Amino acid sequence: MILVTGAAGFIGANFVLDWLAQSDEPVINLDKLTYAGNLQSLSSLDGDARHVFVHGDIGDRALVDRLLAEHRPRAVVNFAAESHVDRSIHGPEDFIQTNVVGTFHLLESVRAHWGTLEGEARAAFRFLHVSTDEVYGTLKPTDPPFTENHPYEPNSPYSASKAASDHLVRAYHHTYGLPVLTTNCSNNYGPYHFPEKLIPLMIVNALAGKPLPVYGDGMQVRDWLFVKDHCSAIRRVLEAGTPGETYNVGGWNEKPNIEIVNTVCALLDEMSPRADGQGYATQITYVKDRPGHDRRYAIDATKIHRELGWKPAETFETGIRKTVRWYLDNQAWVQQVQSGEYRQWVDKQYGAKA
């Protein structure tokens, strides 16, 4: 059995679905169900005894201690995090509480649990911490991609809070010997992505006939990773990663944001054309750039390929086509997550015209 935190969120839900599609090993799912946590994403597991959902916070020591003692998982995979840069700019405190303080409390519970294990169970136990490439800061156009040895230079409250959590995880390995693994991933996209992020926001707004808000000049570059490839990388690191090591996970797909938006528009023109015959790209609207917007991220995923034999299965072209198709086929899910709180957020961030 494994304990997965934050498993009702975008990446966590995909991880649990993929895990149980390939294994009968049960999953304990601990999620706080904040605005981006959505049990509807896991509705296909209703009644499945292999999936046990627990509503709670990683910072609740009594709850986490009880879950660890009761279920005695062989591994903990930590997805639980506040993860949206824009929200961290407007309200950084939640990010400190969840990503820093919450991770600390989770580590303390896991360390105590690990201390009760003996023999093979103790040797096999793993704590896998899922992090982001944003901890490394920003790159110039000609800089080489981030490796695992790149210095941390976070530029937003979100990335600073994730950097702090990474440092705590590292410290618990070096100080206490806790068998930890850390992954730093590039921008994920795919099914069940909450529509505040670029790709799902573009799809949802395009279909609703609304403007497609693009920050600044749209030339911010990101490395795009299909979420199911990310999930396979995490499974591989959990299976064979060396305790104490960090593994960068990327899709080898550096692209500027405006290219992403135009690609989404072209796919929608093909799969669900506008009734008036116009292209969706006519809805693109440039909006004021966000404060401190990092210009470029790029991941060097050589280490995980060399040491663990992992590489992404999807190209960006195949992954984005699957993603657009999924949103077109799952409009009920999209409508369910577009709550009043979500609508208010979009209006606040991009203006009511978005």
Active-site residue numbers? Answer: 133-134, 158
d(CA 146, CA 283): 34
Crossing angle of helices 316-329 and 198-207, rounded to 10°: 50
The DSSP call for residue 150 is S
Q: What is the rounded CA–CA span in Å between residue 43 and residue 47?
A: 9
What token pair was written down for 143? 């800089």
What is the DSSP secondary structure assignment for residue 98, as one 8-state letter? I
Q: Round to whole Å and give the CA distance between 346 and 349.
A: 5
Alpha helices in the chain (DSSP H): 10-22, 61-71, 85-90, 93-95, 103-116, 119-124, 157-176, 198-207, 227-240, 257-271, 302-308, 316-329, 331-337, 340-350
Angle at 274 between CA 269 and CA 276, to 5 degrees: 130
Residue 212 CA to residue 222 CA, distance in Å, equals 18
156, two tokens: 């937003």
H-run or E-run covering 127: strand 126-132
* Bridge partners, residue 286, by sequence: 214
Of 125, 113, 21, 78, the C-alpha closest to 234 is 78
> Is 200 in contact with 193 (CB distance < 8 Å)?
yes
What does the buried/exposed string (b/e) look like for 36-50 if buried means 16 or more CB atoms within 10 Å of the residue's CB? bbbbebbeebeeeee
Residue 302 CA to residue 320 CA, distance in Å, equals 23
